[in-house]
Amino acid sequence: MELDLATDNGQPRPETTRDDSPFAIRGLTVSYGDKPALFSVDATFPAAAMSAIIGPNGAGKSTLLKAALGIVKPVSGRVTMLGQPLKRALDRVAYVPQRASVDWDFPARVIDVVLMGLSRELGLLRRVRPHHLDKAMTCLARVGMDGFADRQIGQLSGGQQQRVFLARALAQQAEVYLLDEPFAGVDAATEKAIIGVLKSLRDDGKTVVAVHHDLATVTEYFDHVFLINQTRIAEGPTVETFTAANLQATYRGRLALQQIDRLAG
């Protein structure tokens, strides 16, 4: 049977609404007190793809993710996750915050951090059964951290902590994965481990969206890019969108011209 995708008035849905996107933002405006951070931002992130959010420091990248998750309250705008308002889809969204924003002194073992990702399954009594532990250990193994289950999270290196937080996100078995600078301050081995896991999520049909600051790896890592500097500058497939002109518009003179030429055509 063929599905009729026409709207009520018989016209095909215009491409711009794309309500079937797993993660879409419309008219998002955010202000901290009277200091505006985002102006009427529209964004549409595709399924089964890795998307990068790119822009200079202070461009509002972290704010975009936080507002999309309801952590920061927007002035206006609408977020749909998996075709539903945010509230109804939150348990299918996993978030790995910027590492610098996490308090690493809280006393918790690595395995406990990963078990937090299973809180929906653990229920209110939080009774951990053997199969929960198995699941948590499987997630730790996927990021190469299964040998560290009993260590205190605060005693790990930055890269190891980042892997544990990715394992927690994996335990959630989400459809949409939002990561804020997952490669910031990690060693090369961790970067490779993380990108491998993210690509396998993408290949399983998940939606992966990461704030990314290393322009040199954008083409290699990401299928889709979203360029932002308080407003949306451009979005689309990396090959078409990660261009010198778009980078200039995004960084407004904050990148040297030769640098831009080297990165994008």
Q: For binding to ligand ADP (CB under 6 A), which residues are involved?
A: 32, 35, 37, 55, 57-63
Alpha helices (runs of H) in the chain, residue ranges in sequence order? 61-68, 86-89, 110-116, 119-122, 130-142, 158-171, 188-203, 218-221, 238-241, 244-251, 257-263
| 229 in contact with Mg ion (CB under 5 A) | no
CB contact at 8 A, 104 and 158: no
* Residue 1, binding choice from ligand ADP, Mg ion, none, Cβ under 5 to 8 Å by partner class: none
- The least distance separating Mg ion from the CB of residue 213, rounded to whole angstroms, comes to 8
Is 63 or 243 the residue whose CB approaches Mg ion more closely? 63
Is 60 or 144 the residue whose CB approaches ligand ADP more closely? 60
What Å distances lie between residue 188 and 20, 83, 85, 193, 210, CA to CA?
36, 36, 38, 9, 18
CB contact at 8 A, 132 and 118: yes
- The least distance separating ligand ADP from the CB of residue 165, rounded to whole angstroms, comes to 17
**Measured CA angle at 117 (ends 192, 211), to 5 deg:** 45
| 62 in contact with Mg ion (CB under 5 A) | yes
Instruction: Give the range of 1-9, 10-18, 57-65, 231-239 binding Mg ion by CB under 5 A.
Output: 57-65
Alpha helices (runs of H) in 204-234, residue ranges in sequence order? 218-221
| 238 in contact with Mg ion (CB under 5 A) | no
- The least distance separating ligand ADP from the CB of residue 30, rounded to whole angstroms, comes to 8
* Residue 46, binding choice from ligand ADP, Mg ion, none, Cβ under 5 to 8 Å by partner class: none
Q: Which stretches of the chain bind Mg ion, using CB under 5 A?
A: 61-62
